[in-house]
Amino acid sequence: MRKFEEIKRNFKNKIDDKIWKYLIDRKSKFYLDLAEKTDIFNLTTLDDVFKNHPGFKIESIYLAGGMDKAKDVGAGWRSILENEFESYPGKKTGLPEITITDFGKFEPKRIPNDKYVDMFIEKTEELKKLYNMPLILNPIRKEMDRTKDKAFHKGTIAYKTFTHETTAEEFEPTFTNLRKTMSRSIEVGDEHLVRLADCIFLGLNQAAAAGTYAELQLQSLMNKPIFVWMTDEEWKLGQTKEDPYGGFSFWTLPHISKIARNREEMKTLVKTIIAYSEKTTF
């Protein structure tokens, strides 16, 4: 039995290695070729994006960005962006009202909420028929554990107070429970949304951390566009004297399709995305 399991593991490892080698080599070639073919600061056109991503349609957009390190769980900039997309005309959906923080309650045109986010993962094409395009996929709207489960919320607060002096007994069961919840219902759900979305819209600020970069790397292996909005205008893209270890990781720079450096540029980019989505989706 042990020998069989070893053979099975070795076979699986060889298959995995071939798949990952192909994806990594393809990614390297794609972004090297793309470097001089996109004008990332011209937010009035997506012609360059469509030209270099054959068959691309803007039917769904995943909102990536910091959550665990953000004071508001990353809700603030996402609400602003949701409201910006919702401000454009669309058919009445008749779906249950949703709340966009600071903007009130709406019958959603483009924003799946709660069970409808899960439906996008399980029944993607069926869900699309209910909304206007592009769908705005906000991970906060599906993460019941992170935002509504009191035990998980209490655990995250406790975890952030742990130090090297905290005993193993104090770490448990909080540490294991957090790991289980992240693996069971948060990490995997977010990764499936990234897998299925046509592109990413990244809210870039100092709260972007491990989860954000993991999502960006997953997206880059699939060669999908990444749109960026620098949501904190006081924060710099690169390192500064005040923040010598800050800034945005160079690792992700080659994968950016368009970058908005402030709120007004974000509005221009959203307007352009809406226009191209209407051209390419039916």
* Residue 259 three-state SS: strand
Q: How far apart are CA 222 and CA 12, in angstroms?
A: 22
Model pLDDT for residues 46-102, shown as the tens digit of each residue: 999 999 988 899 999 999 986 655 566 557 899 999 999 999 999 999 999 999 988
Q: Which two tokens stand for residue 256?
A: 């950016």
Q: Which helix (H) or strand (E) holds 12?
A: helix 2-34
**Predicted local confidence at residue 54, as pLDDT:** 86
Residues lower than pLDDT 70 in the chain:
1, 66-74, 143-149, 185, 206-210, 234-235, 238-247, 281-282
Q: Which two tokens stand for residue 50?
A: 């469509």
**Predicted local confidence at residue 28, as pLDDT:** 86
Q: Which residues contact 128 (CB under 8 A, 6 or more apart)?
A: 59, 60, 120, 135
Domains of the chain by residue range: 1-34, 36-280
Burial of 64 (0-12, 13-18, 19+ CB in 10 A): buried
**Predicted local confidence at residue 6, as pLDDT:** 82
Q: How far apart are CA 99 and CA 230, in angstroms?
A: 24
**Predicted local confidence at residue 191, as pLDDT:** 85
Q: Which two tokens stand for residue 95?
A: 């779906």
